[in-house]
Structure 1
């Protein structure tokens, strides 16, 4: 992380005419400081306002710039504020310009991207952006000094031009998807892992990639064995692109460790959890767990092949007549199709079949077997 501080000594004493009733906070002209820090994932340009707090321009990779003024001394909660550009005394004919109206958040004022860019422009032109708001003790004015700004600004702009073209959100909490029972790194995973690896390398020493199961809560036969193989494949691939093993952590419990701001968390998952939806005896209703499985399947399809087709095959146990069981199987398939259509799938993407009791996966002699036979099998084609 590059850190530069810009200070200077001047002996001009007064910049503005201020109202006697206003409480004005501003860095002294002999000690106006701007500090730049940055790398390829974030650029920061900060200015201390003595006895008040700190103002920071913040630009993160893949995101819009913003400015935040944070009061570190005690101030009453800020409701609304006005942001203006105030010229120094020697700019005799320059007018005061209104830049934005702001809503406060307790002790913080946040400026959106457009107004932040305008602030940079005004500071570069020697103006002083000023925040004004009303408090119990009278009007408060907080001025952001342009003294010693230009040198720091040049570093900040160079940093902005060199930011990564994607944000942390483009990789953080994303799914590293695998095909059925496979641990092979797909082309799509290679792209995701490359982005994640580059991000943590640029974010600095100590940042890491956390790997968690993207299908926690789903009971899948042999799931742990397959998951462990996928974790190992990801580790080996990341080592090939320069990420040391100690910077990749596999978390058995997603809540066991918090992922720091400069690090990335990836969810490792395959299609296994949604291959079957099981039903209670005689039931054609989906529960919250079924909805979660289907939502995961839709996300899987969106990332793998959004135009693929689904084949839904309905099955029952052997209780009841064959005719009645086919009808139950049809209803189970239909309720899943209805849910998928409500989530945006197209009718021509879904193929339905109802087999009733004719294709059991195990014996119907025992309750456990009948439970496994009351199912809709889901497969992705294409």
Structure 2
């Protein structure tokens, strides 16, 4: 953790206290004492508490699998910064810490040059929400990708917020670019190996059918192919439940038979693609369980369906 003394613009001198030692940047010791005295008279805080990894201990780690590429950075005395790219999703970012110094509200994120990049400009990346939970900052959308690009370019994404314990105390959390590039290259390689979908996306799937038909449509084939790819990669999936349905057009007995044919079409496709028969449980219900009223053509199209549900085997702690 660093404690950075600063003064308001246009005075640009900065004093850094690191591990109990004062280091003067661009000003004499006697000069910054005067600066601190001025800040004391104005009632402004004289320093920002900054959490960052020192150059000689900046560590980036990659945890790679076909399900997730997880890029993490240890921040001493704070916790961990994590970029998580799950299969089938965009990259997300969060700060994980039991020590939550930042006040709830909104923090400003900047991209700042490290000390050795003299002359590089600070860039504003935007305002982000800060919660009171363990993951005080959790980001989706384009900003995590922008942060990765800044790190790859040698910049420091930095969050600025006031402390929860003092409305005048600035707090900053920095991500160091030191040792980032080699691990980032491995991260990019991990992305190319990700599955097309994750479990949450296909745990419950639905494929639709044309009126009176049991043939699989092109959009159904895409869904079923993703299910096959995922199940082959995840040995914890134990059962696949297949349930066939129809709309209310036609006779009940005929609809029951049609729902069976639709369920069998899905089962046969999964089996032909290599999924074991003994993990598939097939059921058919005719028109008994509509998901929408059959009063309109749009709703009837929703009812002409087969649902596929994946179950994982239960795990018990030893």
TM-score interval, normalised by the smaller of the two chains: 0.5 to 0.7
Change over 3 Å in CA distance of 1:36–1:192 after alignment to 2 = same
Change over 3 Å in CA distance of 1:179–1:126 after alignment to 2 = closer
Find the structure with the greater CA-based Rg.
Answer: 1
- Matched residue of 2:178: which SS? coil
Change over 3 Å in CA distance of 1:36–1:180 after alignment to 2 = same
Q: Is the 8 A contact 1:196 1:209 kept in 2?
A: no
Matches within 5 A, 1:354-369: none
2:302 to 284, 299, 303: 299
Does the alignment pair 1:115 with 2:143? yes
**1:102 Cα deviation (Å)?**
0.7
**1:145 Cα deviation (Å)?**
1.7
1:206 to 229, 236, 257: 236
1:84, 1:153 → 2: CA distance? 21
**1:60 Cα deviation (Å)?**
3.2
Aligned to 1:341: none
Aligned to 1:91: 117
Does the alignment pair 1:72 with 2:102? no
Change over 3 Å in CA distance of 1:90–1:186 after alignment to 2 = closer
**1:66 Cα deviation (Å)?**
2.3
Change over 3 Å in CA distance of 1:69–1:241 after alignment to 2 = same
- Matched residue of 1:22: which SS? strand
Change over 3 Å in CA distance of 1:91–1:63 after alignment to 2 = same
- Matched residue of 1:123: which SS? helix
The structure richer in strand per residue is 2
Aligned to 1:141: 172
**1:42 Cα deviation (Å)?**
3.1
Q: Is the 8 A contact 2:244 2:305 kept in 1?
A: no
Does the alignment pair 1:102 with 2:132? no
1:242, 1:77 → 2: CA distance? 53
Does the alignment pair 1:176 with 2:179? no
1:201, 1:74 → 2: CA distance? 41
Scaled by the length of structure 1, what TM-score is found?
0.54
Change over 3 Å in CA distance of 1:228–1:291 after alignment to 2 = closer
Change over 3 Å in CA distance of 1:290–1:180 after alignment to 2 = closer
Deviations 1:293-338 (A, max 9, x none): 97641435799xxxxxxxxxxxxxxxxxxxxxxxxxxxxxxxxxxx
- Matched residue of 1:94: which SS? coil
| Structure 1 unaligned spans of 5+ | 1-11, 253-267, 276-287, 304-382
**1:233 Cα deviation (Å)?**
5.1
1:241 to 269, 273, 288: 273
**1:133 Cα deviation (Å)?**
0.8
Deviations 1:136-194 (A, max 9, x none): 33222111122221111001112224445567676453313456787665665433211
Scaled by the length of structure 2, what TM-score is found?
0.63
Q: Is the 8 A contact 1:274 1:293 kept in 2?
A: no
2:222 to 187, 191, 195: 191
Aligned to 1:44: 70
Deviations 1:69-122 (A, max 9, x none): 233334465211111122221112122222121122333213344322221122
2:237, 2:163 → 1: CA distance? 42
2:76, 2:196 → 1: CA distance? 36
| Structure 2 unaligned spans of 5+ | 1-17, 26-44, 307-318
- The alignment's C-alpha RMSD in Å is 4.4
2:237, 2:109 → 1: CA distance? 37
Does the alignment pair 1:160 with 2:163? no
